[in-house]
Chain A
């Protein structure tokens, strides 16, 4: 197993080189540079522009800039934001808990609704339940996220007034930033009503963000279960005279989970890398919103560093998925 993880990790090196090259060049291909963006509509004189460029090191040839960037990264230095002058890493670390919190709740929503829905749809295939699950998941999958977010906001926040519109917690609470996770911090603060406020702020963004993963998981679980339920070993299990729920949960689900785990892993990777639209619509102070804004400001170090960290997260999640695979599927475990 360790050998396997090590081999997988060694494949990561070329991936990282590719990511740094790609983000480094792509962000510089966008018209405008950070200085022009900072100067705004008033513009900046050519001399001042050259002066600032030299200060920030943009006057050097690109390959030198790239080399400096990569050597910084290798020393664990992702650079400082051009706008806030804060280190990219510390900015990331302050914002990341918000994204994790949202991604975690969205993933829970997706898994706890998508998985059972897919299982029941497969077991009761052809019934009204099956058709409704498939229709809902297709709708959910094709729904434009920003529109879905606005729709839910309009119904539940504006018309019904059940949930707040945006943010992480009501302004009346002052929560000390201990862990960065609002749910935990609000408990630690000991303020009455803080936790329920934090929860109510999480509901809509989690549903919006979890909708597509839920649809994907439900569909994948259903098709995977259908395939497994027609396998010979399911017939064997039933021929043993064991209870139907045992056949489904113990014998079918474990086999059906193998492809579903891949899908869940991929989706969780996407969720963690920042739900750009959801965070923007709900003014959620997470990674997605941060990256989008930094692109607008041509904040080169933040874009490069942020994407690199996000890519690392996705790689780690994929590695974990592969390990989980081996746990579920003995055929993989033993082939190594």
Chain B
């Protein structure tokens, strides 16, 4: 059964479409990787799932449902019962994501109390269990620590503890390791994947790290300028990319440039509000772009489980179809 279903979800800020008609599903116990460069709408789309898009941002969708419940039409209070309990999220910068004025214990217990309730003692025991679960040593004493007394890795563990506190069915991790040291990154990812397997959560992993996605994700979505340009099983998308953008992303990995003097790079930047191309959004940067690409918006091609938004998808040899 699909846990989360999006159908043509858009997020607009005035005239600007930060997320442009994206559709995907997340199944129970599935790890979905979302990759793309900065400004491609990864974070905004996930914030919209949590109902965290503020005025003037507007969220619209043909369907946005979680466990068969329509998130967009339900009243605020009902949606808040899902947010933070059934769907939880962790963020990019753990050092600023915890409130500096309250203790770690207070912040963990607050979420538990809101959604599950219980006596003071029960909540405290549960908070200690959670800190134990996310691998924080001496959890009893950590409860009374303030965020400024924790390192970045510890803070992210606390964030994870808060997020998994109410046993969410879906966890959204928005670049959870970007702000951390490389050694800590691996620990945090291991922890996330462990918890995901243990609790059979759906996990949406948003990241720049293609190698990580290739390793842990079941399926992957590649986003560009607010659109999904390619999606499919992680192994297939990375071994035989069909979209020139995915190909360029993979080519830009340092590993692909072994022995070369310079790293491969896709020239140009993601189009903004005022320089949106008429046809395919990648056409100004795409090495294979034709006049057709520059003038006509491409449709999604291929079967539902392996889609690509390109007029001339690449073949297995990485060349555009005629």
Give, as a whole number of angstroms, the nearest-CB distance from A256 to chain B. Answer: 10
Asked if residues B149 and A239 are in contact (CB atoms below 8 Å), the reply is: no
Asked if A7 is an interface residue, CB under 8 A from chain B, the answer is no
Interface string of B142-162 (1 = CB under 8 A from A): 000010110000000001001
Interface string of A169-187 (1 = CB under 8 A from B): 0000000000000000000
Asked if A240 is an interface residue, CB under 8 A from chain B, the answer is yes
Residues of B within 8 A of A41 (CB): none
A328 to B102, CA, bound (A): 10
Contact of B114 among A241, A328, A329 (CB under 8 A): A241
Asked if residues A255 and B162 are in contact (CB atoms below 8 Å), the reply is: no
Asked if B140 is an interface residue, CB under 8 A from chain A, the answer is no
Give, as a whole number of angstroms, the nearest-CB distance from B270 to chain A. Answer: 23
Asked if A334 is an interface residue, CB under 8 A from chain B, the answer is yes
Residues of A within 8 A of B84 (CB): 239-242
Asked if residues A254 and B83 are in contact (CB atoms below 8 Å), the reply is: no
> Which stretch, B88-96, B130-138, B223-231, touches the partner chain A?
B88-96
Q: A240-B162, A331-B148 known; A232 and B91 CB under 8 Å?
A: yes
Interface string of B84-107 (1 = CB under 8 A from A): 110011010100111111100000
A235 to B146, CA, bound (A): 18
Asked if residues A232 and B114 are in contact (CB atoms below 8 Å), the reply is: no
Asked if A231 is an interface residue, CB under 8 A from chain B, the answer is yes
Asked if B52 is an interface residue, CB under 8 A from chain A, the answer is yes
Q: Which of A231, A240, A243 has the most CB of B within 10 A?
A: A240
Residues of B within 8 A of A242 (CB): 80, 84, 110-111, 114
Q: Could you tell me which residues of chain A, from 212 to 251, have a CB within 8 Å of some CB in chain B?
A: 231-233, 235-243, 251
A239 to B84, CA, bound (A): 6
Q: Which of A235, A241, A243 has the most CB of B within 10 A?
A: A241
Residues of A within 8 A of B100 (CB): 233, 255, 329-331
Residues of B within 8 A of A240 (CB): 83-84, 110-111, 114, 162
Asked if residues B82 and A241 are in contact (CB atoms below 8 Å), the reply is: yes
- Complex: chain B residue closest to A125, CB-CB: B55
Asked if residues A239 and B82 are in contact (CB atoms below 8 Å), the reply is: no
Residues of B within 8 A of A255 (CB): 99-101
Give, as a whole number of angstroms, the nearest-CB distance from B91 to chain A. Answer: 6
Contact of A233 among B47, B83, B99 (CB under 8 A): B99
Asked if B81 is an interface residue, CB under 8 A from chain A, the answer is yes
A240 to B50, CA, bound (A): 9
A161 to B58, CA, bound (A): 53
Asked if residues B97 and A235 are in contact (CB atoms below 8 Å), the reply is: yes
- Complex: chain A residue closest to B56, CB-CB: A126
Residues of A participating in the B interface, judged by any CB pair closer than 8 Å: 231-233, 235-243, 251, 254-255, 328-331, 334
Give 10 nearest A-B pairs by CB, closest first: A241-B84, A241-B83, A240-B84, A232-B96, A233-B99, A241-B80, A240-B111, A330-B146, A232-B97, A254-B101
